[in-house]
Amino acid sequence: MGRQETVAPAIELKGISKSFGPVQANKDISISVRRGSIHGIVGENGAGKSTLMSILYGFYKADSGQIFINGKQTLIPDSQAAIAAGIGMVHQHFKLVENFTVLENVVLGAEEGQRLGPSLAKARALLVELAREYELEVDPDAVIETLSVGFQQRVEILKALYRQADILILDEPTGVLTPSEADHLFRILRNLRDQGKTIIMITHKLREIMNVTDTVSVMRRGQMTATVHTTDTNPAELAELMVGRKVLLRVDKKPAVAGDVVLEVNDLRVTDSKGVVRLKGISFQVKAGEILGIAGVAGNGQSELLEVLGGFGRATGSVKVRGTAINIASAAQGRHRREAGISHVPEDRNHLGLIMDFAAWENMAFGYHHEPKYIRAGGLMDQAAMLDDTIGKMERFDIRPPNPRLNAQSFSGGNQQKIVLAREIEHNPDILLIGQPTRGVDIGAIEFIHQQIVALRDAGKAILLVSVELDEILSLTDRVAVMFDGHIAGERITAETDEKELGLLMAGMMEGAA
Amino acid sequence: MGKLPKWADYALIPFLNVLLAFFVSGLVVLFIGEDPIKAMGIMLKGSLGSPRAIGYTLYYATNFIFTGLAVAVAFHARLFNIGGEGQAGVAGLGVAFVCMYVDWPHWSLALPAAIIGAALFAGIWAAIPAYLQSKRGSHIVITTIMFNYIAAALLVYMLVNVIKDPGSMSPQTRAFVPGSVLPTAKEMLGWIGVDFPRSPINISFLLAIAACFGVWILIWKSRLGYEIRAFGHSESAAGYAGISGFKITMIAMTISGSLAGLMAINTVMGEGKRLVLDPVEGAGFIGIAVALIGRSHPLGVFLAAILFGMLYQGGFDLSFDMPKVSREMILVIQALVILFTGALENLVRMPVTRLFLRFTKGAA
């Protein structure tokens, strides 16, 4: 590093600490980010990454520590001060006005004077210039809600650049992007870096860290455990630093021993309440003892497929479980599905799988609450039995903290997911539907969840796994079907395909079933 | 925001809110040139100062318990039942039919029948908006308000054209059969040798306490209550779990309406002994405030109903003893209580939560 020592770092944090009540979110954190570099910050959920960035962007005030921007000590009491110091932030959930145009969103909050006209004209000129410079082409007059998420993200970046940001913070920027959109984003980031901008990227995807960053810091339990040059490290080492122990990044599994067809889906069609056709004739089979993966960019019909199979969405076509047709014409079949041996770990545990305001013991029976084991003589819920049941499941699934009376929202993402998994897997289903099993789940828990899924497969169950994470599909499934625009664009044997081929299918650029 | 202990959440904060409301009310009284301390004294004496005053206070509180529970039950399913007023009014018709056309030998037989009559009429009255919401998408807040007006018009029509006492000048039914007259507190306490003055409080108060207990069992101990709460917290999650939103909306609203309807047992059967125009007198709306202050918990509803019973009864004495303080002033105080406990709840909650955080942090 000797050569750059003379130039002040773009950002230098010294001894930043922050606690919320008894929880210490950041403990004496010091980092220094060289100007004109891409710096990654990795860590599990709750490691303190977001808190640290919120301090840098003025959302939180640090309890102690100093911030230096370009070598000058700077106080950042609010986001205005952060913007003034040249810091821009692209949030994970975009903060755009949906029915405004790109131009209006860029100018919003940075208007000059009472009249909008001059600001807009100036912004338009600047936008054209920025677009050329950084490959950030967006139609300034397009309305946000008509743009794809990839373009919306560019608007967020443009917003920051319009406010003359020299330092860009991106929070989980690829969470909603297709692989090709992500590649484009990385090109933009490299361009920005080459023009002298400094970029901090928060992510949990180690592959992206390796792909795009120059240096990387690892956070664990509020502390910065390491800062290294990306070229000097590898994913396994980073994962170990994040979790604090060795982690298996690949799933250890034997080849599948597939049995009879258990779930048979034929010509499934779904039209939503707005008249949009979401599923355009889906057919596939899942056999006992195998995992069928459904890959695809979010929003191509996977959610609707799970809703129908899980018993809370309507469809036409046919679904057979061990040869017997089940009712897909009604949307209130959740109980019958469970009785037919279908369990479902939904994609969205916040809005579907769990009631956040319910205690863990109440959630542990959710969907099965009518079963005799939870009902006392006299027809009331048997709270003691539910608590016992929960304590057992918490132990077997290593759910922490093991307190059945805590509300679901008090658990971390990984532990929430384990609550849902424990509930659904221990019901011992014949068919497990599982959507985004590791979304928002930390690496340590991912390993555990993957092991559980494989164990269930090896016990002869049929598993339908929907995931937008290609890594997960490739490492976990036996066969994979790729969904694009409401139909299956192709089906492959997982061992005989690769990321590139699946990526093309996901983008709808390759037709034809296997 | 951090977590508050339950007692602070359910008792301390409502208490501080009410205190704040009284403080501002005191300022208003001061502003119109009366002594707020003295006014407070009159209200306390008027509502709790004598057994008779207590009798009146609890009589009004009985109404508010029923309408408060009604709002609370619906609210657990995230349904805002503003229709307690109309549901209780229609329940009056149900009670009247039971108590006019059957020659009851004893009140103990008439009471269960009247409960069924009241609950049936009010339950159906509440089920219609529930159906319209879940099948037709008409918002339940709007429809229940509209059904209040329809109920009022229905009551006028029935009392003027159908069940009017021919011998009376006013739109009211004839007196109920003697066998349907409910025992008052004076009689009941008389059975055990306690002397209690004449007041309208009757056996309905015990029914209200039983209803509180019943609602507690329903919401927190029964499977139906589990499903109602699940639906209330997250409609989508309830769908995932196989809980039918239509079923829960219908059942929760029917129970809610029935509870509001039970109020008619107290006013129509217990006190009026005949059905008159407007047997509800605004208690349906006060139920909303009671449920808000009571945080939709039966115990909270019970306590808040007593508070509003005191305001109601004490208010009579206040307007009598302090001519400057009119009946409307009582409405102002009630409104302030609603404002501080409902709309401005965070005014107190935020500082209290912060205080607790600091305290727990200091202890850690």
| Cα(A441)–Cα(A54) distance, integer angstroms | 21
Tens of pLDDT along A226-277? Answer: 899 999 998 888 888 888 777 766 777 888 888 999 999 999 999 988 888 9
Tokens (6 digits) for B197: 């003055």
Q: Which residues of A touch B234 (CB under 8 A)?
A: 351-352, 355-356
Q: Is residue A451 part of a domain?
A: no
Q: Which residues of A touch B243 (CB under 8 A)?
A: 334
Mean pLDDT of the region A468-482 = 91
In sequence order, the 6+-apart residues with CB closer than 8 A to the CB of A274 are none
Mean pLDDT of the region A67-84 = 90
Are A154 and A69 members of one domain? Answer: yes
- CATH number, domain containing residue A116: 3.40.50.300
Quote the domain boundaries for residue A413.
Answer: 342-428
Q: Using DSSP, state whether B60 is helix, strand or coil.
A: helix
Q: Is residue A230 part of a domain?
A: yes
Cβ B241–A366 below 8 Å, yes or no? Answer: yes
Q: How far is CA A79 from CA A51, A96, B287, in A?
A: 14, 16, 44
Q: Which residues of A touch B230 (CB under 8 A)?
A: 355, 358, 366
Are A30 and A94 members of one domain? Answer: yes
Q: Please report which confidence band the pLDDT of residue A289 belongs to, taking 50, 70 and 90 as the band edges.
A: very high
Q: Please report which confidence band the pLDDT of residue A514 belongs to, taking 50, 70 and 90 as the band edges.
A: very low
ipTM entry: 0.85
Q: Please report which confidence band the pLDDT of residue A430 belongs to, taking 50, 70 and 90 as the band edges.
A: very high
- For residue A205, pLDDT beyond 90: no
| Cα(B69)–Cα(A37) distance, integer angstroms | 62
Q: Is residue A445 part of a domain?
A: no
* pLDDT the model gives residue A258: 87
* pLDDT the model gives residue B363: 47
Closest partner CB to A370 (pick from B223, B233, B240): B223
pLDDT lower than 50: segments of chain B = 1-2, 363-364
Q: Which residues of A touch B233 (CB under 8 A)?
A: 355-358
Are A400 and A257 members of one domain? Answer: no
Mean pLDDT of the region A22-34 = 88
- For residue A1, pLDDT beyond 50: no
Q: What is the per-residue DSSP string for B310-333?
A: HHHHHHHHHHHH-TTS-HHHHHHH
Are A192 and A269 members of one domain? Answer: no
User: Which of B240, B295, B296, B357 is most worth mutating to test chain A (most A CB atoms within 10 A of its CB)?
Assistant: B240
Give first-to-last CA distance, chain A, whole Å.
Answer: 52
Tens of pLDDT along A96-108? Answer: 998 999 999 988 8
Are A298 and A380 members of one domain? Answer: no
**Which has the closest alpha carbon to A284: A299, A305, A298?**
A305
Mean pLDDT of the region A331-338 = 90
User: Which of A343, A355, A423 is most worth mutating to test chain B (most B CB atoms within 10 A of its CB)?
Assistant: A355
Tens of pLDDT along B163-175? Answer: 888 888 888 888 8
Are A100 and A10 members of one domain? Answer: yes
Are A487 and A501 members of one domain? Answer: yes
Q: What is the signed CA dihedral for A226, A228, A231, A235, rounded to 10 degrees?
A: 10
Q: Which of A186, A208, A243 is the last residue of a domain?
A: A243
Q: Which residues of B touch A338 (CB under 8 A)?
A: 242
Cβ A367–B357 below 8 Å, yes or no? Answer: no
Are A278 and A130 members of one domain? Answer: no
> What does the domain layout of chain B look like in residue ranges?
35-323
CB B9 within 8 A of CB A357: no
Tally of structural domains, chain A: 3
Mean pLDDT, rounded, of chain B:
90
Q: Is residue A336 part of a domain?
A: no
DSSP-assigned letter for residue B35: -
Smallest CA–CA distance, residue A23 to chain B, in Å, is: 9
Helix (H) or strand (E) holding A241: helix A235-243
Tokens (6 digits) for B131: 């159906």
Does domain B35-323 correspond to CATH entry 1.20.58? Answer: no
Angle of the B223-233 helix axis to the B204-221 helix axis, nearest 10: 70
Q: Is residue A140 part of a domain?
A: yes
Mean pLDDT of the region A434-443 = 85
Cβ A366–B360 below 8 Å, yes or no? Answer: no
CB B200 within 8 A of CB B59: yes
Are A434 and A399 members of one domain? Answer: no
Does A401 sit behind a cis peptide bond, omega within 30 degrees of 0 on the bond before it? yes
Helix (H) or strand (E) holding A352: none
| Cα(A472)–Cα(A250) distance, integer angstroms | 9
Q: Is residue A457 part of a domain?
A: no
Phi, psi of A462 (to 5 degrees): -95, 130
Are A62 and A48 members of one domain? Answer: yes
Q: What is the per-residue DSSP string for A285-323?
A: EEETT-EEEEE--TTSSHHHHHHHHHTSS--EEEEEETT
- How many degrees, rounded to 5, is the angle at CA B224 between CA B223 and CA B225? 90
Q: Is residue A492 part of a domain?
A: yes
Q: Which of A208, A243, A278 is the last residue of a domain?
A: A243
* pLDDT the model gives residue A92: 79
* pLDDT the model gives residue B1: 39
Q: Is the dihedral of CA A393, A398, A399, A403 positive or negative?
A: positive
CB B350 within 8 A of CB B8: no
Mean pLDDT, rounded, of chain A:
88
Smallest CA–CA distance, residue B144 to chain A, in Å, is: 26
CB A243 within 8 A of CB A44: yes
In B, minimum Cα distance to A21 occurs at B361
Are A286 and A232 members of one domain? Answer: no
Q: Please report which confidence band the pLDDT of residue A491 belongs to, taking 50, 70 and 90 as the band edges.
A: very high
Q: In this structure, which amino acid lies at residue A463?
A: I
- For residue A511, pLDDT beyond 80: no
Are A352 and A308 members of one domain? Answer: no
Tokens 């296997």 locate to: A514
Closest partner CB to A369 (pick from B223, B234, B364): B223
